[in-house]
Structure 1
């Protein structure tokens, strides 16, 4: 059980770091790959695309959290019955 929580936290830290690096990349670049100058509107649009891309991993992490909580509560009730 403890391993599941450790892996969950490691995955969360991994995704948080990747998101932070991606956000820093979007906000700190002056010119994108096509050579277009990055205005505030273009940076916001890129950030929204980044947010949309990270919705899927967030959903997976929430489902994983719920599964961990259910497994944890089932193990507690088994120990209480003994």
Structure 2
């Protein structure tokens, strides 16, 4: 059971680091790949797109948490 929790926390740490790096990249760039100068509004739109992309891993992590909790109660 302890291995499942270690993997769960490791996966969470991985996704948090990836999300933080993506957020920093979006907020700190001045020009995007198409050559468009990034205004605060465009940065916010890019951040929202990044946030939507990370909803899928969040849902997976929540399901994984529920499974871990149920398995913990069985033992």
Report the TM-score when normalising by structure 2. Answer: 1.00
- Give the deviation of 1:6 after TM superposition: 0.1
What secondary structure, in the 3-state scheme, does the structure 2 residue paired with 1:16 have? helix
Bigger CA radius of gyration: 1
Q: Which residue of 2 aligns with 1:34?
A: 34
Gaps in structure 2 of 5+ consecutive residues: none
Report the TM-score when normalising by structure 1. Answer: 0.91
Root-mean-square deviation (CA), in Å? 0.2
Q: Name the count of aligned residue pairs.
A: 75
Greater than 3 Å deviation, 4+ residue runs: none
What secondary structure, in the 3-state scheme, does the structure 1 residue paired with 2:34 have? coil
